[in-house]
């Protein structure tokens, strides 16, 4: 009779799956950092309504928020080589690490969501502060980066945290193009013994613990940022 649940195998396989946690964190942190830059640029393009570029930014945000991340990963993996080939830039898909396409897809995805958080945070800043910055001789760029953005970051930080945690959980889709992270490692380990339930519980525990730690870190960062601006 088959054993319903193998606790011994669950405990023995846990360290092997945990070894891929750094890959998950690297994808999350790297994509978040790139996404913040993309989000800020996109938000500014939409706020200042720069001709053509603001329309492209609007389309990008609408398309990204309106399509599944899974589809965006496939578009990145199969589309980028085709586009580069059309531009006479040969790219053998087998020569490029799959994680590169993951960074592209995830950065563009989170960038679209962050752009809306940044845009709403910037627009929430009192316009009187901008006028005060102009009155002391600051340029539009100086007032944006010295006055507006620091305050907007504080306002948007909770949304940044939610986006980061969501992004970290979404890294579980990276295995579909061959990136070995937590979920992919769980599938590999589970296939050896067909004990998929046990290894997926391990994966759930690892994701859960990482998210709990990140929540505490982000909460501390939010408090410290608010305290810094108040002083």
In this structure, what DSSP letter does residue 20 have? T
What integer is the mean pLDDT of 7-28?
A: 93
Residue 190 domain flag: no
What integer is the mean pLDDT of 181-209?
A: 93
Residue 231 domain flag: no
**Least confident among 72-76, 77-81, 89-93, 148-152:** 89-93
Q: What pLDDT sits at residue 100?
A: 92
pTM (2 d.p.): 0.87
Residue 229 domain flag: no
Residue 91 domain flag: yes
Residue 12 domain flag: no
Residue 66 domain flag: yes
Residue 81 domain flag: yes
pLDDT band at 139 (very low <50, low <70, confident <90, very high): confident
Q: What pLDDT sits at residue 94?
A: 59
Q: Cα separation of 68 and 32, whole Å?
A: 18
In this structure, what DSSP letter does residue 4 have? S
Q: Cα separation of 43 and 61, whole Å?
A: 10
Is the pLDDT higher at 50 or at 93?
50
Q: What pLDDT sits at residue 1?
A: 43
Residue 123 domain flag: yes
Q: Which domain holds residue 52?
A: 20-182
Domains identified in the chain, total number: 1
pLDDT band at 128 (very low <50, low <70, confident <90, very high): confident
CATH number at residue 152: 1.10.3720.10
Q: What is the DSSP string of 39-104?
A: HHHHHHHHHTT-TTHHHHHHHHHHHHHTS-HHHHHHIIIIIHHHHHHHTT----GGGS-HHHHHHH
């Amino acid at each position: 009779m088959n054993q319903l649940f193998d606790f011994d195998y669950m405990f023995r396989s846990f360290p092997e799956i945990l070894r891929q946690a750094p890959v998950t964190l690297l994808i999350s942190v790297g994509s978040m950092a790139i996404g913040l830059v993309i989000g800020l640029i996109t938000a500014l393009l939409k706020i200042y309504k720069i001709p053509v570029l603001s329309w492209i930014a609007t389309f990008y945000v609408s398309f990204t928020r309106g399509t599944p991340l899974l589809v965006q990963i496939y578009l990145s993996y199969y589309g980028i080589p085709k586009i580069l080939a059309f531009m006479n830039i040969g790219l053998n898909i087998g020569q490029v690490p799959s994680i590169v396409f993951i960074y592209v897809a995830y950065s563009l995805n989170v960038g679209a969501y962050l752009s809306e958080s940044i845009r709403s945070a910037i627009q929430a800043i009192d316009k009187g502060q901008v006028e005060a910055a102009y009155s002391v001789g600051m340029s539009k760029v100086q007032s944006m980066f010295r006055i507006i953005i620091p305050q907007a970051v504080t306002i948007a930080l909770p949304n940044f945290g939610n986006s980061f945690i969501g992004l970290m959980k979404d890294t579980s889709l990276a295995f579909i193009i061959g990136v070995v992270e937590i979920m992919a490692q769980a599938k590999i380990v589970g296939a050896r013994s067909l004990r998929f339930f046990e290894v997926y519980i391990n994966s759930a525990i690892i994701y859960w613990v990482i998210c709990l730690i990140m929540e505490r870190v982000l909460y501390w960062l939010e408090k410290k940022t608010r305290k810094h601006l108040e002083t």
